[in-house]
């Protein structure tokens, strides 16, 4: 019987979520329940200080919510049924972006992908909806969920108010997920939005990142933050990525060509008597990058921030191929355009080159670290076709990076070890 995200799927997902919560509670004494990050895992990326969580939610007011859909044991792909390895991740710049619109801009490094609503974001110069991430074929369903959530909060939408143009971005997870089944429902999106919170959140193979892989390893949702320092305004830049890009030989971590070390190890495997030859978007994957900052920047400046994030992608070794959808969006939580015309519009923006340069550096570095975090946080996962993506062996990577840094001349400190 063909079915999508059924009641049984919800039951399985609920159990998985409970296991994560119990595990997190058990770690409160030692780690305050902070999820894995590049800094936590002991591989320092770059020279700037991270925020307390090393996450996009270090930017005050930013909220993240996720629903993870896992159903069916790894094995043969039955289109429309499973196995299911997918989900949805949402990012909100504040509690109510419809009323408190924030300055924003988008940038497409390579456009073989979709991020809906970008024409209006760039035309208006602001973001008035949540940002949602999911798989390629579930974009319309997530769009539907975002609209339902907004109408529930603002019943005047489409009656005597404007109508929203949701921002929904996708990556292709057809490798280990039954993407044809379109298992992410509008209700899942509403659930993710209702559950969006500030503070720590799960990373790796969760939410929209559940079925993703990068550089031939399991990947998914990654995040990081960097601080500009008091001399440059004391601002925070936070980045969240859904990483589904790159080939093994390209991967570099902290400047070390890690992909070459594992060129013949931990390569994806597939069940016997099964073949899978990805092509098109599935061959080289995509990456979605969301950048948040508390610096008061306008749309033009945020576009420049998004462009600088691509330099962080380059540091990981990623190349933007023809088949890749590499799409970026940046917003400022403090440059707000209230919908209520009685409220004043923003009066000032950053106008110092040194501060902008510090924000550019923080953006590039946080983006690099967020991609690494997606790899460090993900666990080995199998799914459709018996295909298995293996986790990056973090302990071995840390030892390799430390050895490479120790080999540098004594005059070169750790801060310069890239």
How many angstroms separate the CA atoms of 36 and 86, rounded? Answer: 20
Q: Which residues contact 291 (CB under 8 A, 6 or more apart)?
A: 237, 238, 239, 302, 305, 306, 309, 328, 329, 330, 331, 363, 366, 367
- Mapping DSSP onto H, E and C, the string for the chain reads CCCCCCHHHHHHHHHHHHHHHHHHHHCHHHHCCCCCCCCCCCCCCCCCCCCCCCCHHHCCCCEEEEEEEEECCCECCECCCECEEEEEEEEECCCCCCCEEEEEEEEEEEECCCECCHHHHHHHCEECCCEEEEEHHHHHHHHHHHHHHHHHHCCCECCCECCCCCEEEEECCCCCCCHHHCCCCHHHHHHHHHCCECCCCCCECCHHHCCCEECCEECCEEEEEEECCHHHCCCEEEEEEEEEECCHHHCCECCECHHHHCCCCCCCECCCCCCCCCCCHHHHEEEEEEEEECCCCCHHHHHHHHHHHHHHHHHCCCCCCCCCEEEEEEEEEEEEEECCCCCCCCCCCCCCHHHHHHHHHHHHHHHHHHHHHHHHHCCCEECECCCEECCCCHHHHHHHHHHHHHCCCCCCCHHHCC
Distance of CA 98 to CAs 157, 221, 274, Å? 10, 25, 48
The one catalytic residue in 37, 185, 225, 286 is: 286
Beta bridge partners of 70: 85
The one catalytic residue in 324, 332, 361, 377 is: 324
**300 contacts 235 by C-beta, under 8 angstroms:** no
**289 contacts 237 by C-beta, under 8 angstroms:** no
Is-catalytic flag, 382?
no
The one catalytic residue in 54, 144, 326, 372 is: 326
**211 contacts 138 by C-beta, under 8 angstroms:** no
Is-catalytic flag, 144?
no
How many angstroms separate the CA atoms of 366 and 240, rounded? Answer: 9
Is-catalytic flag, 185?
no
Catalytic residues: 286, 324, 326
């Amino acid at each position: 019987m063909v079915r999508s995200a059924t009641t049984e799927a919800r039951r399985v997902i609920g159990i998985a979520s409970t296991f994560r919560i119990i595990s997190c509670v058990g770690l409160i004494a030692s780690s305050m329940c902070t999820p894995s990050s590049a800094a936590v895992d002991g591989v320092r990326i770059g020279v700037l200080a991270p925020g307390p969580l090393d996450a996009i939610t270090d930017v005050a007011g930013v909220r993240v919510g996720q629903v993870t859909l896992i159903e069916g044991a790894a094995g043969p792909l039955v289109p429309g049924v499973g196995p299911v390895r997918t989900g949805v991740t949402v990012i909100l710049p504040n509690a109510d972006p419809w009323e408190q619109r924030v300055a924003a801009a988008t940038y497409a490094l390579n456009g073989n992908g979709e991020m809906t609503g970008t024409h209006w974001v760039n035309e208006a110069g602001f973001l008035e909806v949540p940002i949602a991430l999911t798989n390629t074929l579930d974009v319309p369903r997530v769009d539907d969920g975002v609209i339902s959530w907004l109408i529930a909060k603002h019943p005047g939408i489409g009656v005597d108010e404007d109508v929203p143009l949701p921002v929904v971005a996708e990556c292709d997870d057809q490798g280990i997920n039954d993407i044809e089944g379109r298992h992410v429902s509008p209700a899942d999106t509403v659930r993710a939005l209702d559950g969006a919170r500030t503070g720590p959140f799960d990373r790796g193979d969760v939410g929209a990142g559940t079925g993703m892989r990068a550089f031939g390893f399991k990947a998914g949702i990654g995040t990081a933050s960097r601080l500009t320092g008091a001399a440059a305004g004391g601002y925070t830049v936070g980045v969240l990525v859904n990483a589904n890009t790159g080939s093994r030989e390209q991967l570099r971590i902290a400047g070390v060509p890690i992909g070459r070390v594992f060129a013949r190890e931990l390569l994806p495997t597939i069940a016997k008597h099964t073949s899978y030859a990805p092509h098109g978007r599935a061959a080289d994957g995509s990456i979605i990058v969301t950048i948040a900052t508390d610096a008061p920047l306008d749309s033009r400046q945020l576009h420049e921030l998004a462009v600088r994030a691509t330099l962080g992608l380059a540091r990981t070794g990623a190349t933007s191929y023809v088949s890749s959808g590499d799409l970026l969006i940046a917003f400022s939580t403090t440059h707000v355009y209230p919908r209520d015309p009685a409220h004043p519009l923003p009066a000032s923006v950053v106008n110092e080159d040194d501060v902008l340069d510090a924000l550019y550096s923080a953006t590039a570095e946080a983006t690099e670290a967020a991609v690494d975090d997606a790899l460090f946080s993900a666990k080995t996962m199998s799914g459709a076709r018996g295909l298995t993506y293996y986790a990056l062996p973090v302990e071995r990577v840390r030892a390799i990076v430390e050895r490479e840094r120790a080999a540098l001349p004594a005059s070169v400190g750790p801060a310069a070890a890239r």
